[in-house]
Amino acid sequence: MTQLWDGFLKALELIYTFDPEVVQIAARSLSIGLTSIVIGSAICIPLAGLIHFNQFWGKRFLVSLIQTFYSIPTVVIGLFVFVMLSNAGPVGGLGILYTPAAIVVGQVILITPILLGLIISAFRGVDKTILDTARSMGASGWQMALLVIKEARFGVMAAVIMGFGRAISEVGISLMVGGNIRGVTRVITTAISLEAGRGDIELALALGMILIFLALVVNIIMNRIQQK
């Protein structure tokens, strides 16, 4: 129990003193997570719309497949992205292995199934009669799409919050393709892994608490927006 309490005190100390290394890794966790969710949403909201509003052969199978990939382990994605981006791999020439960009790539892959699956579910909940009314009033394709997003906005927001949470809390991808390099790709989760491995349990716990605190702040902001 004392370790938990010491961890909590250490977290307060690190926040209060703006410990530069902690600030750096927290900022990096946030910026990588936010970038991943922005790119993920930009891809998945339209894609989910396309999947939901069109009938095509294999649609049900595709949705099942998407839901299956909710459970994909981050280390597997990390391994896949590593093999792709390695110097010896097909896309190695980009040179983004062991940079934050590689982590973003992996995290976007990670959250795509979650975003697609949950947003499709959200769209399903939109009353069809609203769309029929809009079409009969002469709404264009774009306007209909925006209407659906507006109607489904709570579900869409929930999906986005979930996706962000998944991205910022993962270790497997950050470690494998980021490498936990000090000053370059060290994020909170990989730092926790390192410090716990060195036996600095207090620091590891403190970093964990800081991560939760950050996630809380981001969520409060996202919820304020949702309510407007």
Partner 1 sequence: MSFKWMDRRNPICTLLVGIILIGILVVFIGCSEQSQSKLRVATTTSLYDTGLWEYLEPMFEEEFGVELDVMYAGTGKAIDLGQRGDVDIIAVHSKSRETAFIAEGYGVERVPFAYNYFLIVGPESDPAGVKGMNPENAFIKLMETGSGVFVSRGDDSGTHGKEKSIWVNAGFEYEDVQQVGSWYVEAGAGMGPTLVMANEMQGYTLTDMSTYLAYKSDLGLVPIVDEGAILLNVYSAIAVNPENVDVKNLEMANNLIEFLTAAEIQQLIGEYGVEVYGLQLFTPCAGNEPAS
Q: What's the closest the beta carbon of residue 80 comes to partner 1, in angstroms?
A: 15
CA angle, 106 as apex, 88 and 191 as ends, to 5°? 95
Residue 145 CB burial class (10 angstroms; 0-12, 13-18, ≥19): middle
* Residues near partner 1 (CB under 8 A): 27-28, 30-32, 34-35, 38, 86-89, 92, 95-101, 104, 143, 146-147, 150, 153, 179-184, 196-201, 221-222, 224-226, 228
- What is the rounded distance in angstroms from the CA atom of residue 84 to the CA atom of residue 173? 13
Q: What's the closest the beta carbon of residue 55 comes to partner 1, in angstroms?
A: 26
**Is 32 within 8 Å of 103 (Cβ atoms)?**
yes
Residue 90 CB burial class (10 angstroms; 0-12, 13-18, ≥19): exposed
59 or 150, CB closer to partner 1?
150
- What is the rounded distance in angstroms from the CA atom of residue 58 to the CA atom of residue 64? 10
Q: What's the closest the beta carbon of residue 27 comes to partner 1, in angstroms?
A: 7
47 or 147, CB closer to partner 1?
147
Q: What's the closest the beta carbon of residue 120 comes to partner 1, in angstroms?
A: 21
Q: What's the closest the beta carbon of residue 201 comes to partner 1, in angstroms?
A: 6
74 or 190, CB closer to partner 1?
190
63 or 145, CB closer to partner 1?
145
- What is the rounded distance in angstroms from the CA atom of residue 51 to the CA atom of residue 65? 13
Sign for the CA dihedral angle at 126, 118, 105, 18 comes to positive
51 or 168, CB closer to partner 1?
168
